[in-house]
Structure 1
Amino acid sequence: MKHFLLLISCVAIASCSQQKQNLNFLEVALSSDNIKIKRVVDSIDDYQVQIKYTQIDRRNDSVFFTDYDFQVNDSMYFYPASTVKFPTAVLALEKLNKVDSLSMHTKYYVEGDTVESTVAKDVSEIFAVSDNLANNRLVEFLGFEAINQELRDKGISPIRITHRLGHRSDDLRTKPIIIYLNDSTIGITSSILNKTPEELELLEIAKGLGYYEDDELINTPFNFSQKNFYPITSQHNVIKRVIFPQNFKESERFHISDKQREHLLEAMHTLPQKVGYDNTTFYDSYCKFFLYGDTKENIPEHIEIYNKVGFAYGTLTDCAYVKDTEKNVEFLLTATILVNKDGIFNDDAYEYEEIGIPFLAQLGREIYQQELNRK
């Protein structure tokens, strides 16, 4: 099919006969006649779609990956939005282990703020409802340069996280963290001055026909060169390391404890109402695009989706590990799509509900249905 430049790579060592049994479910899914898929594929150049799907095979105690790509190009920019909260959350847990007196339940607050929190609470809020303030607190704790360097040291690249989400996004200096070490003492971290980020030089770094700024329409493409950069390949590599750490060398893993990993995984798939959020506003699929994004019905308990979504500037992205505990189905899927028909950014006229989320939901269902029949 036109536009289907699919790069197939067998990450695990497998025999030729085993490889032939792995059908390209991604290509089949994108060939679907379902309108939610077809209307996007028929005008694929308009939506800047990128997809990475991984089949998972288990033999004895080993896990084997077979990766399939659609239009994945790390030089083609898309705005990652809240997906950057995932590595920030994992690295915050990892940093705690470098200080004997800290745990994920240690209380702290950011200088100048009145909100007390813990890293455990922040991680839960990041995945349950994609809370910006929880993410930004962890950014103050880590610093941008440390985030980027730690990820690169683990072989996760390209990546560049340079701004907070929601507010104070362009402040290069982190604020000190006040930490309650015990009932009578506190610790204060130093402020970190991060370097001014260089402009990104990538394809499609300037998008659209114009954008609104202070209620004024600017008739030039919107420039993303100072924004965060977290492409599909890097997102997929992060979730692989979290779900299947044993498949990576020690130097490539996130060094978190068993209890921390248990908390992280629980946060990644726990639905908002299970942690106290109103299920009318924060319904099950509020942060779950694949399979259920286009419905507000409850997600069955045997379907576990460990993921992080992002949506902003007309771009929708989901990075997920999907597991059906009843049918013994599991796979990894990461995808992004841009839905901005008028080409104007910051006008809040994006086709999230009409095109973007239905596409991602149906994509997940198409892959899942094929996985159900796979040996």
Structure 2
Amino acid sequence: MGRRIFFFIIAITTLFFSCAKHIEEPDLLKMALSSDNSKIRKVMDSLAQHELQIRYTQIDRIKDSIIFTDYNFQVNDSNYFYPASTVKILTAVLAIEKLNEMDSLDLYTQFYVEGDSLETTFANEISKVFAVSDNDANNRLLEFLGQDRINQSLKDKDIAPVRISHRLSTENAFEVTTRPLIIYLNDTTTAWLKPSVNKPPAPLALKRVKKGTAYYEDNTLINEPFDFSLKNYFPISAQNEVLKRIVFPEQFPKNERFRLSPDQQSFLLKAMSDLPKNIGFDEMEYYDGYCKFFMYGDTRDTIPEYIKIYNKVGNAYGTITDCAYIIDHKNDVEFMLTATLIANNNGVFNDDSYEYKETGLPFLAQLGREIYNLEIVKKQRK
């Protein structure tokens, strides 16, 4: 009898400690979205209107291991949203990867696109893509890559679903033939990089690819939903996967990583976190939060040196998005956050009447602050 009691006690003790180890962490995303803050409530109280999708990634470091825990709110790859400038993270990282395949080129090689008056370097264009979200810089990198290469490279790394079909804010957005690049091999010698011919995009078979009630085209109001089915597609899950591979490449098999050298990864991370003033832009116009929507998008406050935000934002057609890795070196907290929402109350597209400042930016900024503050509290309790 005594032996049975002994083994019963051992079993109960083992079960207790096993359960204790598996106590679930609080869902900080759920807590953040339950905030009484008016910037949060304005969106949460009218969810259907804003098509909100969020992924928060909790990051735990245990000895030499890094553990990601994803928390989702309404994330659905089948529900389309326009990714806008968030796609620029793809042209940036894949341009660096392609440079590795070309012995005579590097980040600081000078070039220009045929028909373009600007002579530049790959490093300059990548820096502008992140610091001020420059559309022309993105398009130059796309001419270097081509749509097919971008899409195939992502597929090879098991990053899906995603489809890049066009340039940004230019008349030749959907041109399938890229323009050649003229490369300076030295002060007196140039080389011509031949253009690529890419497949035209097929319509996306997704929900919500037609949005709103009307749109403007050539100053004419068209009273029917705006069709996004041929446009770029870069959902929350894919954005999160790209960011994880850039910041924490060692967490993925080699065939799923971006092929960057340590120096190239350092350059890319610096470009992603740089503020406009760091690369020579006027800080009165391009304030710290200009391309840092989480935490700082609704303020002109200076971002403290100990907080680094590695991210890519996008806003167009009333849709506003940020995908970020945020780390506070002073308080030793880090997390990833990706979110998108639409702020287009009148349902009309191309009328330049969107509620970015009234709704979109305040929500994303406050969401970032809510998660950040909850992370601080969680850290203090450990």
Is residue 288 of structure 1 aligned with residue 273 of structure 2? Answer: no
**SS of aligned partner of 1:316:** strand
Larger radius of gyration: 2
- State the 1:182 CA deviation: 1.9
User: What corresponds to 1:190 in structure 2?
Assistant: 194
**SS of aligned partner of 2:294:** coil
Where does 1:275-314 land on structure 2 (aligned, <5 Å)? 275-314=279-318
Q: Please, which of 30, 36, 39 is the counterpart of residue 36 of structure 1?
A: 39
Q: Distance in 2 between matches of 1:287 and 1:18?
A: 40
Q: Residue 16 and residue 349 in structure 1: after superposition, are their counterparts in 2 closer, same or farther (change >3 A)?
A: farther
Q: Distance in 2 between matches of 1:89 and 1:161?
A: 13
Q: Which aligned segments of 4 or more residues in structure 1 are displaced greater than 4 angstroms?
A: 15-19
Q: Residue 238 and residue 183 in structure 1: after superposition, are their counterparts in 2 closer, same or farther (change >3 A)?
A: same
User: What corresponds to 1:357 in structure 2?
Assistant: 361
User: What corresponds to 1:335 in structure 2?
Assistant: 339
Q: Please, which of 116, 121, 137 is the counterpart of residue 118 of structure 1?
A: 121
- State the 1:256 CA deviation: 0.6
**SS of aligned partner of 2:295:** coil
- State the 1:177 CA deviation: 0.6
Is residue 129 of structure 1 aligned with residue 132 of structure 2? Answer: yes
- State the 1:229 CA deviation: 0.3
Question: How many equivalent pairs are there?
Answer: 361
Q: Distance in 1 between matches of 2:100 and 2:213?
A: 47
**SS of aligned partner of 1:188:** strand
Any gaps of 5 or more consecutive residues in structure 1?
Answer: 1-14
> Aligned-residue CA RMSD in angstroms?
1.0
- State the 1:373 CA deviation: 1.5
User: What corresponds to 1:27 in structure 2?
Assistant: 30
| Higher mean C-alpha displacement, 122-131 vs 189-198 | 189-198
Aligned-residue sequence identity (percent) comes to 57
Q: Distance in 1 between matches of 2:117 and 2:298?
A: 37
Q: Residue 199 and residue 16 in structure 1: after superposition, are their counterparts in 2 closer, same or farther (change >3 A)?
A: farther
User: What corresponds to 1:104 in structure 2?
Assistant: 107
Q: Distance in 1 between matches of 2:211 and 2:19?
A: 43
Paired letter, 1:45? A
Q: Residue 88 and residue 277 in structure 1: after superposition, are their counterparts in 2 closer, same or farther (change >3 A)?
A: same
Q: Residue 345 and residue 18 in structure 1: after superposition, are their counterparts in 2 closer, same or farther (change >3 A)?
A: farther
Q: Distance in 1 between matches of 2:202 and 2:21?
A: 45
User: What corresponds to 1:49 in structure 2?
Assistant: 52
User: What corresponds to 1:10 in structure 2?
Assistant: none
Q: Residue 144 and residue 18 in structure 1: after superposition, are their counterparts in 2 closer, same or farther (change >3 A)?
A: farther
Q: Please, which of 153, 156, 169 is the counterpart of residue 150 of structure 1?
A: 153
Q: Deviations over 1:206-239 (max 9, x none)?
A: 0000001111110000000111000000000000
Paired letter, 2:343? V
Superposition TM-score, scaled by structure 2 size: 0.93
Greater share of residues in helix: 2
Superposition TM-score, scaled by structure 1 size: 0.95
| Higher mean C-alpha displacement, 184-193 vs 56-65 | 184-193
